[in-house]
Structure 1
Amino acid sequence: MKLTSFLKEIDYNKEELTYLIDEAIRFKQLKKDKVLHNYLTGLNIALIFEKASTRTRAAFTVAAQDLGMNATYLGASEIQLGKKESVVDTAKVLGSMFDGIEYRGFSQEALEDLARYSGVPVWNGLTDQWHPTQMLADFMTLKEHFGKLEGLHLVYAGDGRNNVANSLLVTAAILGVDITILSPESLQPEQAVIDLAHKHNTGSKIKITSDTAAVKGADAIYTDVWVSMGEEVDFKERIDLLFPYQVNQALLDKTENPNTVVLHCLPAFHDTKTAIGLEIYEKYGYESLEVTDDVFQNHADIIFQEAENRMHTIKAVLYHSLKD
């Protein structure tokens, strides 16, 4: 397969996404066995971060270094992207110096302009609309755990309009995994995203609902933070709206499946051991938000496996974008 940029999930079909997941599993084994795989020695990539990150920054950095590349971090305060210099001009400058560019920020349009004008592969580390590298890690984790993707039923519970929900809906459809978006009606996916999922569907049963009974039989329940970075909302109003969709033991019991696993892309507000978590508790009295601490701890192994897999899947993307 020929890979260049990875801007959104529909850039690749089922066979190509499956190939990347399998390649990530292969790279994971190489790293576990401490087998050097510095296949891209001498190349350089730029990492643009308009939004803060732990997993995405670490994953791209380590993946690049393992492949023998140099990775240069460019934070929001260190470049003039769209401020003193247009995205197009920045793309041309960076494209002349680097072999590839990662972008984690707000605008999908800015990402696509980087790809259009840089002349080098560009990878989406997250935008307000899509989060494709996260999807590879998520479905890799499911494949590792269940030994397959076909026949699985994935339920996303929470804000159904954010980038993770958009990406899960479309990626599951491409891969033929049954997907349910469980959200209050006011936070369900936009029709354009639903239409995109149906357009690229290879056999997935797609359901959008506000009824928590829809978790019955789920193999995995996925959740995410209730307010995305940069989103300006009434926080208390959002909490009250989404609290019925909290991933707690009562919701898990509704699956009637003792083997249901819980996934989370992190960070998670499952306790009060962060400054924000403590502030939420002191202000609103909630010890946890999208997932309770007992459920989080019971499924911590697979959640942190999912986090590690960000690096292996990103490595597969980088390698197959740049190997030629």
Structure 2
Amino acid sequence: MSARHFLTLLDLSADELDYLIQRGITIKNRLKTNGPIYTPFSNRTLAMIFEKSSTRTRVSFETAMAQFGGHALFLSSRDTQLGRGEPIADTARVLSEMVDAVMIRTFSHAGLEEFAAASSVPVINALTDDYHPCQLLADVMTWTECRGPIKGKTAVWIGDGNNMCHSWINAARQFDFQLRICCPEGYDPRRDILEAAGEHAVIVRDPGDAVRDADLVTTDVWASMGQEEEQAKRERDFTGFQVTEALLDQATEEAIFLHCLPAHRGEEISTTLLDDPRAVVWQEAGNRLHAQKALIEFLLLGRVA
């Protein structure tokens, strides 16, 4: 049987994604109760290829493998032949002979797809310029812990139509909720991704209209990695799109706020928003560990009772 990959949320069925959310919650609760005594990955290795730096991604995947009794191998572009021009497919075939799964955090989504096509072991997208599906597992897990099932609810994305926005659009499709995307003109998400979501996702230009009666509000930095030279222009273009406590007040009383982090206080969020009790970003960040443990377990072992 060919390996299952996780390049976008669309690679798993809605039922499989629901399973991962509940499994992540179970793993988290058992860890708190009994400690890290479940070690199904003895002598298993996850190769982690980083072409983009990260705090949460590296720590969560390394810790996940350690708590599961396995090993995580960190590889930067300086540590592999990819950095010296080896074809992507050749590297994938070599690693497939040596490790049990590969996690990649990179720029080109097409390059990730090329790697996965040549790999005989599971490949996990830990971020590309187009998608960040692992973050959405943690986000939906956090929502579920705080408020129950997300099906039928309304979430709001405020900010750039970037890789996180694309994954929120896919999440709306897969988890069956409504997504309002609030971004300045010129910063819309990719048209094909938006259109594929049908009625699950709409663009609303005014932040106040977007947030009104919403159940969840989320955002991201205005200039992602690789866009630093656009910072000044983006700050001008995103004037009025900052998420503040006053803006959250227009959502439902039970609304929560998420941010994939790192956050730029005073830019896309007010300086004090992360201290608001509606902001559950620290729980969200910690859930990267547990959601990804569920994901790795599923890709290597299938469903576990």
Residues 134-173 of structure 1: pairs in structure 2 closer than 5 A: 134-160=135-161, 162-173=162-173
For 1:19, the equivalent position in structure 2 comes to 19
Q: Distance in 2 between matches of 1:111 and 1:99?
A: 17
Deviations 1:258-287 (A, max 9, x none): 3221100000011xxxxxxxxxxxxxxxxx
Identity percentage over the alignment?
Answer: 37
User: How many equivalent residue pairs?
Assistant: 299
TM-score, with normalisation over the residues of structure 2? Answer: 0.93
Q: Distance in 1 between matches of 2:152 and 2:192?
A: 26
Q: Distance in 2 between matches of 1:145 and 1:209?
A: 26
**Which stretch has the larger CA shift, 78-87 or 131-140?**
78-87
Change (3 A) 1:192 1:209: same
* 1:116 CA displacement: 1.3
Q: Distance in 1 between matches of 2:149 and 2:280?
A: 16
Change (3 A) 1:58 1:94: same
Q: Distance in 1 between matches of 2:3 and 2:164?
A: 23
Deviations 1:194-225 (A, max 9, x none): 12222xxxxx6422121221210011110101
Q: Distance in 2 between matches of 1:265 and 1:59?
A: 13
TM-score, with normalisation over the residues of structure 1? Answer: 0.88
Partner letter of residue 46 of structure 1? A
SS of 2:126 mapped into structure 1: strand
1:225 to 217, 221, 225: 221
* 1:227 CA displacement: 0.7
For 1:236, the equivalent position in structure 2 comes to 232
Alignment root-mean-square deviation, CA: 1.7
For 1:126, the equivalent position in structure 2 comes to 127
* 1:82 CA displacement: 5.6
SS of 1:186 mapped into structure 2: coil
Q: Distance in 1 between matches of 2:53 and 2:83?
A: 18
For 2:186, the equivalent position in structure 1 comes to 186
Residues 86-125 of structure 1: pairs in structure 2 closer than 5 A: 86-125=87-126
1:210 to 186, 205, 224: 205
**Which stretch has the larger CA shift, 40-49 or 79-88?**
79-88
Gaps of 5+ in 1: 199-203, 271-287
C-alpha contact 1:63 1:315 (8 A) present in aligned 2: yes
For 1:262, the equivalent position in structure 2 comes to 257
For 1:293, the equivalent position in structure 2 comes to 271
Gaps of 5+ in 2: none
Partner letter of residue 68 of structure 1? G
Partner letter of residue 251 of structure 1? L
* 1:234 CA displacement: 2.7
* 1:172 CA displacement: 1.4
